[in-house]
Amino acid sequence: MAEAERIIGTPDITGAEGSGETGPDGAAASPDPVAPETPDTGATAADAAVDRSPATRRRRIILLFCVAVVAYLLDLGSKMLVVAKLEHQEPIELLGDWLKLDAIRNAGAAFGFGEAFTIIFTIIAATVIVVIARLARKLYSLPWAIALGLLLGGALGNLTDRIFRAPGVFEGAVVDFIAPAHFAVFNLADSAIVCGGILIVLLSFRGLDPDGTVHKD
């Protein structure tokens, strides 16, 4: 008997003993794989795609201030050139009567509105700058960084005139010089503010928030 068992061999029943179940061919059945559980955070696919790492927020803030600095320096440089070369001179025609460079001093808001409320517009410009600085703390959206940068650069450009130009601090007149036909005279700061505002309106219509969240209404 011992010799016969050596030749035939003994069956391997280790797997059957462990599971207690056998397949159709008599072999031990393997347990079904269990899928790992994924936590349900309630986030949408669009939100999950937003990179909200500190490095991303840092890059967006840097972009915001770079756009603001470029807009501010272009506005400041153009005004200095206009005051030095064009003020008290005849307007320069760029496209005949359709577009001229004509230096004027504007005590009102953008495009010459509200000249009697200079101090109020100064306060509004300062408030806009504070609001943008607060929004930057949760900024993860690239388009919002550009839009806020344009607003910040334009607000700083005109606020610089309000503070440092005549007739006095916080009452200074803004230098305007771009004069299209049948339209108010404006400057590069006004252009940056308008472009930034239009971009913000478009982003709002698309449901995109500064933190990158997309709302589908």
**Is the pLDDT at 183 greater than 60, yes or no?**
yes
**Percent of the chain surpassing pLDDT 90:** 56
pLDDT for 110 equals 54
What 3-state DSSP class applies to 182?
coil
* Rg of the chain in Å (alpha carbons): 34
Q: Which of these, 149, 168, 172, lies nearest to 160 by C-alpha position?
A: 172
Strands (E), 131-206: 174-180
- Of 170 and 153, the one with more pLDDT: 153
Note the pLDDT tens digit of each residue in 16-62: 444 444 444 544 444 555 444 444 444 455 555 678 899 999 999 99
- Which of 138, 134, 187, 178 is closest to 159 using CA atoms? 187
Q: Strands 99-106 and 174-180: what pairing?
A: antiparallel
pLDDT digits (tens, 9 = 90+) for 98-120: 999 999 998 865 555 555 557 77
What's the one-letter identity of residue 71?
A
Are the C-beta atoms of 112 and 105 separated by less than 8 Å? no
pTM given for the model: 0.74
Give the chain's largest Cα–Cα span.
125
Could you give the residue numbers annotated as active site? 176, 190
Mean pLDDT of 127-131: 91
Question: d(Cα 101, Cα 192) in Å, to the nearest integer?
Answer: 18
Predicted confidence at residue 44, as pLDDT, reads: 53
- In which band, very low, low, confident or very high, does the pLDDT at 13 lie, cut at 50, 70 and 90? very low
SS3 of residue 45 by DSSP: helix
Q: Which pLDDT value is given to residue 43?
A: 45
Confidence at residue 91, expressed as pLDDT on a 0 to 100 scale: 94
Determine the Cα–Cα distance for residues 67 and 117; give it in Å rounded to an integer. 29
